[in-house]
Amino acid sequence: MDSKECMERGRRYIMDTYTRFPAVLVRGRGARVWDLDGKEYLDFLGGIAVCNLGHAHPRVAEAVARQAETLMHVSNLFFIEPQVRLAQLLVEHSFADKVFFCNSGAEANEGAIKLARRYFHDKGGESRFEIIAMDESFHGRTMATMTATGQAKHQAGFNPLLPGFRHVPFNDLDALEKAVSENTCAVMIEPIQGEGGIRVPGADYLRGVRDFCDRHGLLLIYDEVQTGMGRTGTLFAYEESGVAPDIMTLAKALGNGFPAGALLATDRVAVAFKPGSHASTFGGNPLAMSAAIATVETILNDGILENVRAVGSYFMDRLRSFAEAYPVVKEVRGRGLMIGVELYREGAPVVQCAFKQGLLMNCTADRVLRFVPPLIINKADVDRAMDILGNCMGEI
Ligand SMILES: *Cc1c(COP(=O)(O)O)cnc(C)c1O
């Protein structure tokens, strides 16, 4: 198949749910990918915040290959050694005491919603099922997580949505006080909103949310599906605020591209899940767990977090001085290597131009250029990306 034929057949046989770049990516190495025609791209999208160690990372690839030759699947009716090892790693490096494994971000959030409801059910608070989520949030595409998602465009045409969700503006503590009722069980929040446009809350906001939850006896759920796994310069974004949740979800970069999701909780909350209350056929699968162990160990031991902070602040500085030269830029924001550049106009033409010139990124919330590159990029990669961005800003 050449690329034209591949795209034609793709359009014929695959449901039309994605707006795709006109390229067939076939190979990757570090922060670079190549298409079927041999064109090279600098990948500042990283599989949408997934390939945090870059493409074809040797340790992850080797772990998956070795596990595939040893044991690919057995079911959760047995103990699975790599699952135990990953759970211990995650617990030892987070607030949590227990982990449940699944396969994606939506599934992890679905599990978090179920756990919060079940926790109050078991305490006799059956009417406490309502979750307060944020406007412009993104939590997934299943019925529950789509309902939790605070963006009407993702919900259009799928009514009736699930009962038990309320939305308030992000970064607004007063709005939380007004939304709470005797039915509320939890607050669900991304420490930095990703799909909503890389929105970073004020410095004291998360502490305020934690205090609010404690005052009303609510659980705090962090969706770290995008912010987790080193993306913001700490293993988990919440560490920066010093404010721990009761429940946290992970997916995207957990397996560096091998599908894996996780739901973490304190013992106090986790006891609400008992044998039979929640399950997944593939969750915690040996292959996914091996990929994730290699990923977490590399993030922790190979200076990745230091690189995120150093290169992230270099990138941010370059973007800020760039913003001064282009009045179309409204704001540059983010943390670590999760960076958004909000424009006064639609971002899609910039993204298309960059694609043609060999730089991959995307646009979220219509006007926000989003950069979530592999965490292994260096300053020269940033310089290259800035050159292309400069060309494209000149062009539009
Ligand atoms: C991507 C994302 C999800 C959904 O993850 P899937 O693996 O696509 O289901 C949920 N929450 C956040 C914050 C995300 O960025």
**Number of other residues whose CB lies within 10 A of the CB of residue 32:** 18
Single-letter code of the amino acid located at 297: E
Of 318, 357, 350, which is closest to residue 334 (Cα–Cα)?
Answer: 318
Distance 331 CA to ligand 1 centre (A): 24
pLDDT per position as a tens digit, 209-227: 999 999 999 999 999 999 9
pLDDT digits (tens, 9 = 90+) for 341-382: 999 999 999 999 999 999 999 999 999 999 999 999 999 999
Return the closest-CA partner of residue 335 out of 204, 169, 137, 202.
Answer: 202
pTM of the predicted protein model = 0.98
Q: Any idea which of 15-19, 189-193, 323-327 has the lowest mean pLDDT? A: 323-327
| CB contact at 8 A, 240 and 232 | yes
Tell how far the Cα of 140 is from the centroid of ligand 1, in angstroms.
Answer: 5
Find all residues with CB under 8 Å of 285, minimum gap 6, and list them: 72, 73, 80, 103
Q: For Cα atoms 135, 264, 208, give the angle at the middle one, nearest 5 degrees.
A: 45
Does the beta carbon of 140 lie inside 6 Å of ligand 1? Answer: yes
Does any ligand 1 atom lie closer than 6 A to the CB of residue 138?
yes
Q: Could you tell me where the DSSP H helices lie in the chain?
A: 3-13, 46-49, 58-70, 81-92, 105-122, 143-148, 152-155, 173-179, 205-216, 238-241, 267-270, 286-301, 304-325, 348-356, 379-395
- Could you tell me what percent of the chain has a pLDDT over 70? 100
Mutate to test the pocket of ligand 1, among 109, 225, 250, 258 (most ligand atoms within 8 A of CB): 225
pLDDT at 39: 98
Q: Which atom of ligand 1 is nearest to the CA of 261?
A: 7
Q: Please enumerate in sequence order all residues whose Cβ is within 8 A of that of 286, keeping only pairs 6 or more positions apart, or say none.
A: 67, 70, 71, 72, 73, 74, 80, 81, 82, 83
- Does 394 have pLDDT greater than 90? no
Would you state the structure tokens that stand for residue 293, as one six-digit string? 């162990």
Q: What is the pLDDT of residue 395?
A: 82
Decide whether any atom of ligand 1 lies within 6 Å of the 224 Cβ. no
In order of their start, the domains of the chain are 3-56+303-395 (3.90.1150.10), 59-301 (3.40.640.10)
Average pLDDT, the chain: 97
Confidence tier at 207 by pLDDT (50, 70, 90): very high
Query: What's the pLDDT band for 128 if we cut at 50, 70, 90?
Result: very high
